[in-house]
Amino acid sequence: MNLWVLSGIAVMVAGFALRRINPLLVVLLAAAASGLAAGLDPLALIAAFGKAFNDTRYVSAVWLVLPVIGLLERHGLQERARSLIAGLKGATLPRLLTGYLLLRQTTAALGLTSVAGHAQTVRPLLAPMALAAAQPADEAEAEQVKAMAAATDNVGLFFGEDIFIAIGSILLMKGFLEQQGIVLAPFDLSVWAIPTAFAAFAIHALRLWRFGRGRQR
C-alpha cells in the first residue's frame, strides 16, 4: 500500500495552519502532491485538473457571479436593500429571517439550491436588510446579526434539499442503505425528509424569535 498518496492531507493541514496562504492555492498544492505521489506525470496531473474543471464547471460559475455582485454592490446594492427594509413598517429581524428561511427551504426542496446562497444573496442582500431591521447597537451585535443571517441560509438549504429526490445527499443515503441490505427508493427518502424539514423550520424560527427578544431586552 502506497501511503505517500496521503501526503496531500499533510500539505493541506500545513497550509491551513499557516493561515497566510491562499486556501485555493493550498488545495491545489495538496491535490498536486497526492497526484504526483500516486505516480501521475505532470501532463496527466494537468489533464486531471482540466477534466475536473470541465466536469463540474462550478469554478467558472463562481467567476461569473462574483464580479456581477461586486459591480452591483459598488453601485449601491446594499444601501438600497437597507433603505427598502427601513421603509417597511413592522419589518423586524425575526420576521425577515423567518420569511427568508421559508423561501430558502421551499426553493431547495424544488431542487433550486443555487438560486440563493451566501455569496449571491446573504452578503449583498440579506445581511444588509437584517442590519437595517435590527439596528444593532455596536459592532459585536452587528456581527451576531450577520451570523444569524448566514445560519438561516444554511438551515434552509441543508434541511430543504433532502426533499428533492435528485440531490446528492439522497443518492448517498440510498447507496449507503443498500450496502447495509436496506433497499429504498429515492422518493421514500425524500418523503421522510419532510418531517425533518418542518422540525428544522420550527426550531430555527424559534431561535430567531428568541434572538430578537433577547436583543430587545
pLDDT per position as a tens digit, 86-124:
667 777 889 999 999 999 999 999 888 888 888 888 888
pLDDT given at position 65 = 63
164/77: higher pLDDT: 164
Cell digits for 169? 445527499
Local structure of residue 115 (DSSP, 8 states) = S
SS3 content of the chain, % helix, strand, coil (to 5): 80, 0, 20
- The residue ranking higher by pLDDT, 193 or 20, is 193
Chain centroid to Cα 141, Å, comes to: 23
Euclidean distance between CA atoms 21 and 17, whole angstroms: 9
- Is the predicted pLDDT of residue 81 greater than 80, yes or no? no
C-alpha cell at 116: 440563493
> Could you tell me the pTM of the whole model?
0.65
Same domain, 115 and 150: yes
pLDDT at 135: 84
Where in the sequence is the domain holding 31, given as residue range(s)? 3-56
pLDDT at 66: 63
Residue labelled with grid coordinates 428533492: 164
What's the pLDDT at 48?
Answer: 80
Instruction: Please check the confidence at residue 56 and state whether its pLDDT lies above 60.
Output: no
Residue 162's contacts (CB-CB under 8 Å, 6 or more residues apart) are: 169, 170, 189, 190, 193, 196, 197
43 within domain boundaries = yes
pLDDT of 62 reads 55
Segment among 28-32, 38-42, 44-48, 212-216 with least mean pLDDT: 212-216
Residues 139 and 187 in one domain: yes
Residue 80 banded pLDDT, cuts 50, 70, 90: confident
Asked if the structure places residue 94 within a domain, the reply is yes
Q: CA–CA separation, 153 vs 181, rounded Å?
A: 35
Domain count, the chain: 2
The string of pLDDT tens digits covering residues 160-201 is 988 888 777 777 888 888 888 888 888 888 888 899 999 999
DSSP state of 161: G
Q: Check whether residue 7 and residue 100 sit in a common domain.
A: no
Query: For all residues of the chain together, what is the average pLDDT?
Result: 82
Q: How far apart are CA 91 and CA 107, in angstroms?
A: 22
d(CA 122, CA 150): 6
| Residue 52 and residue 87 share a domain | no
In this structure, the answer to whether residues 43 and 133 fall within a common structural domain is: no
Domain-located, residue 12: yes
Distance of CA 83 to the CA centre of its chain: 26
pLDDT of residue 1: 57
| pLDDT attached to residue 54 | 65
102-to-12, 146, 195, 198 alpha-carbon distances in Å: 37, 18, 14, 10
Asked whether residue 86 falls in the same domain as residue 25, the answer is: no
Query: Are 140 and 98 part of one and the same domain?
Result: yes
Q: Enter the C-alpha cell of residue 92.
A: 423586524
Q: What is the pLDDT of residue 85?
A: 75
